[in-house]
Amino acid sequence: MSAAPPGPDDFRAAGHELVEWVARYMEDVERFPVQSPVAPGWVRAQLPPHAPEQPEPWDAIVADLDRVVLPAVTHWQSPMFFGYFPANASGPSILGDLVSSGLGVQGMLWATGPACTEIETHVLDWLVELLGLPEHFRGHGVIQDSASSANLCAVLAARDRRTATVALDRLRAYTSTQAHSSIEKAIRVAGLRRDQLRTIDVDDTYALRADALRDAVERDVAGGLVPFLAVATAGTTSSLAFDPVDAIADVCDAHDMWLHVDAALAGAAAIAPELRALVNGGIDRVDSWCFDPHKWLLTNFDCDVLYLADPSALVDSLSVVPEYLRNQASESGAVIDYRDWQVPLGRRFRALKLWFVLRRYGAEGLREHIRRDVRAARWLAARVDGDDRFARLAPADLSLVCFAHRDGDDATERLHRRINESGRALVTHTRLGDRYAIRVAVGATSTEQHHVEALWHLVDELA
């Protein structure tokens, strides 16, 4: 067998076969147990101990997708997947990724990929309009791999705006007890200690209490410390709570603090004008704001969008220009080099998938996706509310329903386990207050009303 590299014809043949494979997966995904039933070690036990010396035929590779991979996949794309967050793969997005992989372009500099850079800026400007974001976000958007990375960028920009004059260990950041774990992780990555992040109490809707924030900030200032950052969440992970951004901005203004908003899941909902009051409150006053099209805007992972009121602080933090990256376009000042807007140097042409999604669905198609999910989640919340066995534990204004069994944590946990072990649906959990809560996150690409109804029947049957 020749060791000659597989060329375009090999790609063509296998490519058509794998497009069919993926299409069949989309059609069949509902039939698999949503949570993979395999035990730790099962996958590795199926694989040979050594890499092959000689090329293997595609048939063997594709056969292993069915034999080894599918049984060991937790099916995030199942319409019965209600865990964690919806992970919105879609045909147009998958194909945008295909073209990105095929072009194999590096977008670290404008010069290394003009289309990669300019389509990104342009499509993110489209989103400014579609989501009702502030005009000063135009030209100031950048795609990150995830909200974790966007949150880290905000921490770094906010930190370095202060460290010229303030010692690192005097800085203090603030977020709610409900903020995503990536905030704490970003703080630690950035060289701050865990205790330099103050976690502020929430009210009974799990939204940050602005009065508690003000007290904490003032206490720290009085103690000679320097508040430099508040991270608000528009749609928390546990319960989709919305922090009062406007009131938080008042505190930030008074103390020259950076205000970042993590709208990872909920941000996409702003595409529906009737949901903007909930999602975008106070957004005119924030320094940075991010959301994940890969969570709820029909774009597959990885695609987070970060906007900055003024990107210069971030660029100041992250710009390092070695000789081998110098070029005329960069030095002209007429272009964006996105390398300076992210932690890694290299970058994929991720804007392609967002461009494909916006064009193939159109804004109306995306709005319908959001509205369908919100309708279905509210329907489910009403069923929970009308059933004596259950207590809803948080507002369900958008797409997440959190509830518990009234018989207590053991009953809720047992119900949770039974749902997942049935293989017919997947839900995950959190703690709200002191209670174990089942989280139902509606919004997978293929989830329709009848799937949510099927989940409810399952809950009813297993409770």
Q: Does 224 bind its own copies (CB under 8 A)?
A: no
Number of residues that bind its own copies (CB under 8 A): 151
CB of 313 to its own copies, least distance (A): 13
Asked whether the beta carbons of 394 and 241 are under 8 A apart, the reply is yes
Q: How does DSSP assign 218-264, residue by residue?
A: HHHHHTT-EEEEEEEEBS-TTT--B--HHHHHHHHHHHT-EEEEE-T
**CA angle, residues 50, 54, 57, in degrees to nearest 5:** 105
Find the shortest distance in angstroms from Cβ 408 to its own copies: 17
Stretch that binds its own copies, among 103-111, 305-313, 392-400, 405-413 (CB under 8 A): 103-111
Contact residue for its own copies among 161, 209, 369, 405 (CB under 8 A): 369
What CA–CA distance (Å, rounded) separates 125 from 362? 15
Q: How far apart are the first and last CA of the chain?
A: 59
Question: For residues 367 and 383, which CB has a smaller minimum distance to its own copies in the complex?
Answer: 367
> Which of 31, 195, 204, 324 is in the footprint of its own copies by CB under 8 A?
324
> Among residues 32, 33, 34, 73, which is the contact residue for its own copies, using CB under 8 A?
73
302 is a site residue for its own copies (CB under 8 A): yes
Q: Return the range that interacts with its own copies (CB under 8 A); candidates 216-224, 251-259, 299-307, 388-396.
A: 299-307
268 binds its own copies (CB under 8 A): no
Amino acid identity of residue 312, one-letter, is S
Of the candidate spans 345-353, 386-394, 403-411, 449-457, the one that interacts with its own copies by CB under 8 A turns out to be: 345-353
Q: Which is nearer to its own copies, 73 or 251 (CB)?
A: 73
The pair of three-digit structure tokens given for residue 301, joined into one six-digit string: 């992972």
Q: Binding of its own copies at residue 315 (CB under 8 A)?
A: no
Distance CA 419, CA 207 (A): 29
DSSP for residue 6: P
Q: In the complex, what is the shortest distance from the CB of residue 381 to its own copies, in angstroms, rounded to a whole number?
A: 19
Site for its own copies in 139-198 (CB under 8 A): 145-146, 148-149, 152, 156, 159-160, 168-169, 180-182, 184-185, 188-192
Is 423 an interacting residue with respect to its own copies (CB under 8 A)? no
Member of 300, 376, 396, 459 binding its own copies (CB under 8 A): 300
Angle at 194 between CA 402 and CA 188, to 5 degrees: 95
Return the number of the residue (361 or 456) whose C-beta is nearest its own copies.
Answer: 361
- Could you tell me the two tokens for 444? 């997978």
Paired tokens of 198 = 């103050």
How does strand 197-200 pair with strand 171-176? parallel
Q: Does 7 bind its own copies (CB under 8 A)?
A: yes
Gap between the Cα atoms of 77 and 33, Å rounded: 12
Torsion of CA 316, 321, 326, 327, to 10 degrees: -20
Q: Residue from 30, 74, 413, 463 that binds its own copies (CB under 8 A)? A: 74
CB closer to its own copies, 149 vs 280: 149
CB-based contacts of 325, cutoff 8 Å, min separation 6: 108, 109, 339
User: Of residues 105, 154, 245, 248, which one binds its own copies by CB under 8 A?
Assistant: 105
Is residue 199 involved in binding its own copies (CB under 8 A)? no
CB of 127 to its own copies, least distance (A): 8
Q: What is the distance between the alpha carbons of residues 430 and 180, in angstroms, rounded to a whole number?
A: 12
Instruction: State which of positions 36-65 bind its own copies (CB under 8 A).
Output: 36, 38, 40-44, 47, 50-56, 58, 60-61, 65
383 makes contact with its own copies (CB under 8 A): no
> Can you tell me which of 98, 225, 315, 391 binds its own copies, judged by CB under 8 A?
98
We find the least distance from the C-beta atom of residue 34 to its own copies, in angstroms, to be 11
Which residue among 162, 395, 430, 456 contacts its own copies (CB under 8 A)? Answer: 430
Sequence-distant (6+) residues with CB within 8 A of 14 are 58, 62
Q: Cα dist. 236→175, 263, 326 in Å?
A: 11, 8, 41
CA pair distance 203, 378, nearest whole angstrom: 22
Minimum CB distance to its own copies, residue 455 (Å):
18
| 368 is a contact residue toward its own copies (CB under 8 A) | yes
Contacts to its own copies from residues 111-140, by CB under 8 A:
111-119, 121-123, 126-127, 129-130
- Mention every residue, 6+ apart, whose C-beta is less than 8 A from residue 17: 58, 62
What single letter denotes the amino acid at residue 173? Answer: A
Of these, 30, 106, 435, 462, which contacts its own copies (CB under 8 A)?
106
